[in-house]
């Protein structure tokens, strides 16, 4: 029997709120530069995974072009900041240009391809993403080619910028943290990503979310009821593209560098897929859990394995088994175990178990 407020749902929501609180106070709780980079990356990937979950989890659309839209947003902001200088006018122009290109391409792909079967649509999106990756690498005069583009962010986000000063004229500190441009940049990333994630949550909780689930479960039945399936699928494809493009622009402003590896790489697409599967498709909250776990593993698993290898020194085989260079092996093993014990993802499995209890 499913309760209106299953314990599993309450547990998952509590975990997500805790993660949100940790991200909110991350600059004060984790004061290393690397930790702030990790927190900002988690924020960006939460939006990316949530927007991708709209496609694969709620509508049943398998796309390999999500990083393409992420790249459009990133390159839009990067090119504008490079050409126009580090001003908010450049940010606005870059963001709007990335959005415009993303929407036009999403509509074109949606109208032309969403009528075909899932596997053929997935191949079309993969081909489109491959073309964009090649173009970004070859149009070096515009995109910087393989080297990418380096540029300056708006003045308020410069590390040397003093948001507040003390009586001696030095940068003011709160709990030992400098109130400078780096802090402003992080909270720009956090606030923007929080707004986008809440909008995704509101979308799936609206009547539109119910229609998307109906299309996912039985497309023919949804069509027979009277829903224009292709129109709905194209619309949600465009919404996901817009969210990914905005995430790309935010990441470009934070990173102050944009290149094929940071914006268009298929490695990013694989990461998004892994995060969706780990967190749980069709849950939205799973985007937060999946993004946190995979990003933390990518940044800290090597360090943990190095510490384990040193601690096991003198024991046969074990130090070699935990060599930091083998971190991908252990990441794969952890992923297999997660899929085995959480077949619907962490959020999905716990949610269902709470509902049945």
Q: What is the pLDDT of residues 18-44, one digit of tens each?
A: 999 999 988 888 878 888 999 999 999
Domain annotation covers residue 2: no
List the structure tokens of 287.
């985007």
> Which structural domain range is residue 334 located in?
7-356
The predicted pLDDT at position 114 comes to 65
User: 196-255, pLDDT tens digit by residue?
Assistant: 999 999 999 888 888 888 888 877 788 888 888 888 888 999 999 999 999 999 999 999
Exposure string for 172-204, b = 16+ CB within 10 A, e = fewer: eeeeebbbbbbbbbbebbbebbbebbeebeebb
Q: Say what angle helices 181-205 and 7-24 make with each other, to 10 degrees.
A: 160
Q: Which residue has the tokens 């990173």?
A: 255
User: 1-23, pLDDT tens digit by residue?
Assistant: 334 446 778 888 899 999 999 99
Domain annotation covers residue 219: yes
Domain annotation covers residue 135: yes
Domain annotation covers residue 50: yes
CA separation for the pair 330, 319 (Å, rounded): 14
Domain annotation covers residue 1: no
Distances from the Cα of 292 to the Cα of 71, 151, 318, angstroms: 22, 28, 28
Domain annotation covers residue 344: yes
Q: Does residue 66 carry a pLDDT above 70?
A: yes
Cβ atoms 158, 254 nearer than 8 A: no
The predicted pLDDT at position 3 comes to 41
User: 152-206, pLDDT tens digit by residue?
Assistant: 988 888 766 655 555 555 656 666 667 777 888 999 999 999 999 999 999 998 8
Domain annotation covers residue 66: yes
Domain annotation covers residue 44: yes
Number of separate domains in the chain: 1
CA separation for the pair 206, 186 (Å, rounded): 30
The CATH code of the domain that includes 104 is 1.10.3470
């Amino acid at each position: 029997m499913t309760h209106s407020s299953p314990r599993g749902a309450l547990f998952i929501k509590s975990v997500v709120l805790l993660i949100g609180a940790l991200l909110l106070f991350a600059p004060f709780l984790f004061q290393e530069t690397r930790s702030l980079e990790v927190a900002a990356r988690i924020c960006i990937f939460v939006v990316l995974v949530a927007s991708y979950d709209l496609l694969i989890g709620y509508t049943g659309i398998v796309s390999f072009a999500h990083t393409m839209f992420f790249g459009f947003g990133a390159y839009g902001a990067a090119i504008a900041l490079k050409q126009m200088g580090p001003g908010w006018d450049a940010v606005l122009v870059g963001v709007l240009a990335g959005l415009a290109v993303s929407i036009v391409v999403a509509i074109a792909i949606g109208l032309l391809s969403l009528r075909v079967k899932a596997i053929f649509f997935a191949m079309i999106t993969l081909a489109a993403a491959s073309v964009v990756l090649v173009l970004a690498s070859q149009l070096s005069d515009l995109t910087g080619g393989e080297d990418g583009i380096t540029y300056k962010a708006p003045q308020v986000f410069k590390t040397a910028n003093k948001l507040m000063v003390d009586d001696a004229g030095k940068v003011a500190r709160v709990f030992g943290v400098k109130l400078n441009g780096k802090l402003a940049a992080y909270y720009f990333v956090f606030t923007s990503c929080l707004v986008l994630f809440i909008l995704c949550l509101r979308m799936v909780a609206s009547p539109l979310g119910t229609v998307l689930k109906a299309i996912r479960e039985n497309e023919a039945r949804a069509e027979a009821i009277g829903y224009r399936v292709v129109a709905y699928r194209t619309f949600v494809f465009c919404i996901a593209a817009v969210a990914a493009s905005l995430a790309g622009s935010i990441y470009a402003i934070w990173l102050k560098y944009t290149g094929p590896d940071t914006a268009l790489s298929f490695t990013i697409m694989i990461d998004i897929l892994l995060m969706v599967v780990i967190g749980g498709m069709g849950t939205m909250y799973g985007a937060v859990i999946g993004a946190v776990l995979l990003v933390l593993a990518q940044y800290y698993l090597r360090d943990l394995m190095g510490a384990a290898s040193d601690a096991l020194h003198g024991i046969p085989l074990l130090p070699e088994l935990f060599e930091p260079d083998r971190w991908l092996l252990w990441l794969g093993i952890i992923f297999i175990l997660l899929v085995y014990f959480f077949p619907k993802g962490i959020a999905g499995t716990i949610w269902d178990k709470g509902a049945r209890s």
